[in-house]
Structure 1
Amino acid sequence: MYPRFSETFVLHEMLAREADGEQLEVFSLRLPVDGHFHAELSRLRAPVTYLPVGRSAGEVWEAVRGALADGLMGPHHPGVQALLGEEAGVATQALALAREVRRRGITSLHAHFASVSTSVARLASLLTGVPFTFTAHAKDIFHEEVADDDLARKLADAAAVVTISDHNHHHLRDRFPEAATRLHRVHNGIDLESFGYSDPAGRPAGVVAVGRLVEKKGFDTLLDAVALLRAEGVQAPLTLVGAGPLAPALAEQRQRLGLVGVQLLGPMPQHEVRRLVAGAAVFAAPCRVGSDGNRDGLPTVLLEAMALGTPCVATPVTGIPEAVQDEVTGLLVEPDDAVALAAALRRLLEQPLLRRSLAVRARQRVEEGFDVRRQAAEVARLTVPAPVGGAR
């Protein structure tokens, strides 16, 4: 889905690649339904095409007839067998994408997430001969519904595979050793010019957390931790930004714990989130592995908080320790441990010099390892098979 409110890393990667002179086009499998959009969208020059969603056999065969009429494939084309093994919607969109690839002279395909988007890109690649690559994130490789045989096919057929953390890279390499030579770790990056550093030492006490209200974010543990702090007489104002299926449960938990001052603000545009995070004394990211295996790869908003000078308390889940190094660039506690989380929050709320020392090193870590310009250039190097020179 493009644009999607919670996936700013995709937009920032494309903006950085356009700034380097690449000519991009965006193909979206779904119409946007978020209802909230970031101002940075207006900076992207790439045209956006929404591929038709075909659900019935009739729509699939209509797409096949169009592909045959365009000379895209014959009845014995190797891509036909692959099409027959896919759902109707995937097959229809892959055929539509393949036709546009031929018409527009597109020379490489890159998909974000190793799920349906990569399924469509892979089929379009088989039909056209144009190489495809993809970026694997988290849910698309860790969720219990991920099928090993499907992921193995995608890894085998891709020209290169990017994943966003060393944790992911090791996981995929160990699980699919035959794909090891095509796997590359490239961290997500952020636009550092948009996230200016400020000293957190003098900020008023306050905790902010940002993310979808889903199990893997661990926000229920955060509410428990704030309640523990209140019981100890520590004022810890909490602002939680985000929307999701757990919103009613978190609101009920807030009421049950008597956390009157805790704000559940819902989704907000990026400039407002940036303002809130930049004014907080602490950023909390109490991530966990969900009961279905779902987990964060390395939350972009965590990197943004580090860039802004807001000291972070997080958990050592997946790629997070690659950015938040305990007692160096932030504090780490175990998932689902409200007592430890409360203690870490209290340290940062009560020790302004600790906030400053962690924040300075966190900003340095982000500058060294998570600059979107360098990250996007590395992704481009891996995913564009020929010199850019105006190719798409």
Structure 2
Amino acid sequence: MHVAYVVKRYPRYSETFIVNEILAHEAAGMRVRIYALLPPQDSHFQDIISQVKAPVCYLSAKAERATPFWELQKRAAAIYPSSWQVLSQHQDASAREITQALELALHIHKHQIDHLHAHFATTSTTVTNIAAQICQIPFSFTAHAKDIFHQDNDYNLVKKKFSSAQFAVTVSDYNVDYLINELEIEPSKLVRIYNGLDLNQFPFSPYNNRPPHIIAVGRLVEKKGFSDLIHACALLKQRGTIFHCDIIGEGDQKRQLADLIQNYDLGSCVQLIGPLPQAQVKKRICESAMFVAPCVIGTDNNQDGLPTVLVESMALGTPCISTDVTGIPEVIEHNKTGLMCEQHSPEELAAAISQLLSSPEQAEKYAQNARMQIEQRFNIHSNTEILRKQFLKFQ
């Protein structure tokens, strides 16, 4: 089977789950091609990208002038006469999306691609949907978080994408319930598959004599809740707790968070590190007393589905603290595989951090239990096998 993955940008620092998925498919012998709608923007990339064998093609990022655009349509119609009719059904698509879908259709014909799979129910799925209809091949996509939760989404268009696809993957039971109950998606269209890890790349690190270091990783945006973590650190400092907190990542809230650190006079114990390569992130996680993911539901309803870095930290053997939002309770069972706090509660975060700092034996037990859960439910090879079986259903 020859499968094309369609993504908005490739590679992308924050989307290691897509790279993990493609690598697992390749390890199982599946042929993969990658199509990106836009070039990368990040200054750092994850090390594992170099392991991907799939060729990468960047579709035209700008709609062509009228004459080349017309010629592209005629080339596609010469192979797929129904393309005119298909395009007439997608009047809500942009000129760029139409151009990229036509280009993708020509690649499907040239490389004899059997199935299209997109990530995120956004422009990548729009392009995939149109190309699949032109070529009359099956397509699917994975819905994650912002693409289904954000208040600015065109939900009628989102629902149309679910209806058109042969099936759609989403990354937590929470997401499944939301899609069925809030967006009225047909349950038979949905498959829950957790974002998995290659556990050989995330060996368990014993919890021995770790310094009182707190680590958090993610884009510096509202839904990550880092302002609550900084507030919690201010409470810990007031109580005389000895600790150091590093927040790794880049994002729109960098200035706001830096100001908060300064206002609380936390410069000596809280640092914004910026983005780092994955190898360095993993090293820092393994050297820390705990990983904290203080996720919240944003004012725009944006929220995480289930943070991959949280799963990675649990796999590596670092005790985790997170919040009771979205799919997180599906991976952290309070007082068994980690500690759970209410969102927007710096007081609870501070108490949980103090609990782990003062009870290393308990922290170690959480880490061991968490690793067992990750092995059982988040193995990338088992999870992508489920996805490949879904692909095969429609061949």
TM range (shorter): over 0.9
Q: Identify which of 225, 228, 239 aligns with 2:246.
A: 239
Task: Pick the aligned partner of 2:33 from 25, 33, 57.
Answer: 25
8 Å Cα contact 1:60/1:88 also seen in 2? no
Aligned residue in 2 for 1:368: 376
Deviations, residues 233-260 of structure 1 (Å, cap 9, x unaligned): 0012001100011111111111111112
Q: CA deviation at 1:177?
A: 4.0
Mapped to 2, the partners of 1:98 and 1:172 lie a distance apart of 29
The one-letter amino acid of 2:265's match is G
Would you say the 8 A contact 1:191–1:372 is kept in 2?
A: yes
Give the alignment partner of residue 45 of structure 1, picking from 45, 48, 53: 53
Aligned with 2:32: secondary structure? Answer: coil
Give the residue type in structure 2 aligned to 1:171: Y
Provide the residue aligned with 1:79 in structure 2: 86
Cα distance, 1:112–1:106 mapped onto 2, change above 3 Å? same
User: What is the match of residue 72 of structure 2?
Assistant: 63
Say whether residues 1:250 and 2:265 are aligned partners. Answer: no
Indicate how the Cα distance of structure 1 residues 74 and 165 shifts in structure 2: closer, same or farther if over 3 A, else same.
closer
Corresponding residue number in structure 1 for 2:107: 100
Work out the number of aligned pairs and report it. Answer: 385
Give CA-to-partner distance per residue, 1:197-246, whole Å, 9 cap, x none. 12224211110000000000000110010110010000120011000111
- CA-based RMSD of the aligned residues comes to 1.5
1:315 is matched with: 323
Instruction: Please give the alpha-carbon distance, in whole angstroms, between the structure 2 residues aligned to 1:54 and 1:41.
Output: 26
Percent identity for Structure 1 against Structure 2? 39
Evaluate the alpha carbon distance shift between residue 82 and residue 249 of structure 1 in structure 2; reply closer, same or farther with a 3 A threshold. same
- Supply the distance in 1 between the matched residues of 2:377 and 2:319 (Cα, whole angstroms): 17
Q: TM-score, normalised by structure 2?
A: 0.94
Match of 1:208 in 2: 215
Contact persistence 1:60–1:91 (CA under 8 A): no
State the match for 1:285 in structure 2. Answer: 293
Question: Distance between the aligned counterparts of 2:146 and 2:391, measured in 1?
Answer: 22
Match for 1:154: what amino acid? K
For the pair 1:115 / 2:126, whether they are aligned, the reply is no
Q: CA offsets, 1:82-126, max 9 Å, x none?
A: 243311111111111111111110010000001111101000011
Q: Give the Cα–Cα distance (whole angstroms) in 1 for the partners of residues 46 and 72 of structure 2.
A: 34
Q: Is the 8 A contact 1:219 1:286 kept in 2?
A: yes
In structure 2, the CA distance between the partners of 1:255 and 1:308, relative to structure 1 (3 Å rule), is same
Higher relative contact order (CA 8 A, sep 6+): 1
CA contact (8 A) 1:206 1:349 kept: no
Give the equivalent residue in structure 1 for 2:362: 354
Aligned mates of 1:214, 1:184 — CA distance in 2: 28
1:179 pairs with one of 171, 183, 186: 186
Moved more, 36-45 or 300-309: 36-45
Confirm whether residue 221 of structure 1 aligns to residue 211 of structure 2: no
Q: C-alpha offsets along residues 150-189 of structure 1, whole Å, 9 cap, x if unaligned?
A: 1111111111110000000111122344521111100000
Task: Tell me if structure 1 keeps the 8 A contact 2:159–2:185.
Answer: no
Corresponding residue for 1:378? Answer: 386
Asked whether the 8 Å contact 1:298–1:319 carries over to 2, the reply is yes
Deviation >4 Å, runs of 4+: none
Please report how far the alpha carbon of residue 71 of structure 1 lies from its aligned counterpart in structure 2 after TM superposition: 2.4
TM-score normalised according to structure 1 size? 0.95
1:326 aligned partner: 334
Q: Encode CA deviations 1:293-329: one digit per residue, 9 max, x unaligned.
A: 1111101100011011111110011000100111110
* Aligned twin of 1:163: 170
Does structure 1 residue 134 correspond to structure 2 residue 141? yes
Of 253, 266, 270 in structure 1, the residue corresponding to residue 274 of structure 2 is 266
Partner of 2:302, secondary structure, is: coil
State the alpha-carbon separation in 1 of the partners of residues 70 and 295 from structure 2: 45
Amino acid of the structure 1 residue aligned with 2:274: G
Q: Secondary structure at the match of 1:216?
A: helix
Query: Out of 87, 97, 103, which is 1:90 matched to?
Result: 97
Aligned residue for 1:4, secondary structure, equals coil
Is the contact between residue 72 and residue 99 of structure 1 (CA under 8 Å) also seen in structure 2? no
Contact 2:179/2:185, CA 8 A, preserved across alignment: no
**Deviation for aligned residue 1:33:** 1.1
Amino acid at match of 1:304: E
Cα distance in structure 1, aligned partners of 2:10 and 2:87? 28
SS class of match (1:144): coil
Structure 2: stretches of 5+ with no match in the other structure: 1-8
CA contact (8 A) 1:57 1:88 kept: no
**Secondary structure of the corresponding residue to residue 310 of structure 2:** helix
CA distance in structure 2 between the aligned counterparts of 1:231 and 1:251, rounded to whole angstroms: 19
Secondary structure of the residue aligned to 1:208 is strand
Mapped contact 1:288–1:335 kept (Cα < 8 A):
yes
Q: CA deviation at 1:62?
A: 4.1
Aligned to 1:199: 206
Relative to its length, the structure with more strand (as a share) is 2
